[in-house]
Copies of this chain bind each other. A is one copy, B any other.
Amino acid sequence: MNQQRLVNTIRDKASFLCVGLDPDPARIPVHLGSGPEAVLAFNRAIIEATADLAVAYKPNVAFYEALGAEGWEVLKETMAAIPEGCLKIADAKRGDIGNTATRYAQAAFSAWGADAVTVAPYMGRDSVEPFLAFEDKWTILLAATSNPGAEDFEFHGAEGGQPLWRRVLEVSRTYAGAERLMYVVGATRPEWLAEVRAVVPDRFLLVPGVGAQGGSLEAVCAAGWAEELAGGLLVNVGRSLLYASSGEDFAEAARKEAQKNQQAMAETLAQAR
């Protein structure tokens, strides 16, 4: 999916909602049963209930890897269940070099059928460019994340220089295929988001941390908006939507949560025009 199509989809759906598909077997409604089949049934119901409200879905690969070999099939089937018009993001946070990185990229883009994959920048250029070599695919690089541990390394060098996350933004813009980059920036500290937006005005940002983690949609939009990209934001909502109800009405409850988010997004988009 190219950038213009993503922008059009956001305007058409009046939404920049990304649904995080991180299915915890312990929290899946009991009536769906258990095991990999229950996970797949859960995902399909969530996708069906939210398909007109979301522009992206983001399965976190760890949740599938933990299911064993069957998890691989569940991930592929989940990707296949996402409507074609939505961006399919494999949240894999992979990071390895050269041919090894190419194998991870092939797994994500070819085997799983993802449009985009999250990548960790630690090892530098030769760990990122193999992903960027895939045309019509997106590489979403970790920049400033929303977890407490982000303070350990992502801000290193800020005293007397620039923080690491800023160097990641600036250096990665020089990589071959950099026009296929997006960045992960946490919602919990919107002040970072404003700084990120200043460095990368022309790139989409994937923003986790709204909802269960405490980030505010309003603050995210105020800080990170890029009007020419219909905001340039993909705001991920995970647990608060997936587990809105633990009963047989889980999909309906998830839809209500998605609607609540989408309506707020529609208002922001309307105001920004």
Q: Is A168 close to B, CB under 8 A?
A: yes
Q: Is A127 close to B, CB under 8 A?
A: yes
A154 touches B124 (CB 8 A): yes
Q: Is A214 close to B, CB under 8 A?
A: no
Interface residues of A in 70-84 (CB under 8 A from B): 70, 72-73
**Which chain B residues lie closer than 8 Å to A145 at the CB level?**
97, 123
Copies of this protein in the assembly total 2
- Cβ 8 A contact of A104, one of B62, B69, B149, B167: B62
Q: Is A95 close to B, CB under 8 A?
A: yes
Q: Is A150 close to B, CB under 8 A?
A: yes
**Which chain B residues lie closer than 8 Å to A95 at the CB level?**
93, 95, 120, 122, 142
| Closest Cβ–Cβ distance, residue A252 to chain B (whole Å) | 26
**Which chain B residues lie closer than 8 Å to A160 at the CB level?**
160-161
A127 touches B156 (CB 8 A): no
B126 touches A149 (CB 8 A): yes
Q: Is A164 close to B, CB under 8 A?
A: yes
B111 touches A66 (CB 8 A): yes
Q: Is A152 close to B, CB under 8 A?
A: yes
Smallest CB gap from A73: residue in B? B69
Task: Assess A124 versus B150: contact at CB under 8 Å? Given A69-B72, A95-B95.
Answer: yes
- Cβ 8 A contact of A142, one of B123, B125, B151, B152: B123
A147 touches B126 (CB 8 A): yes
Q: Is A199 close to B, CB under 8 A?
A: no
Q: Is A103 close to B, CB under 8 A?
A: yes
| Closest Cβ–Cβ distance, residue A238 to chain B (whole Å) | 10
Q: Would you list 15 pairs from A and B whose C-beta atoms are within 8 A, ordered by A residue? A: A22-B100, A24-B99, A65-B107, A69-B69, A69-B70, A93-B94, A97-B145, A120-B122, A123-B149, A123-B154, A124-B154, A152-B171, A156-B157, A156-B167, A157-B161
Known A60-B96, A152-B171; further 4 A-B contacts with Cβ < 8 A = A63-B100, A97-B147, A153-B171, A156-B156
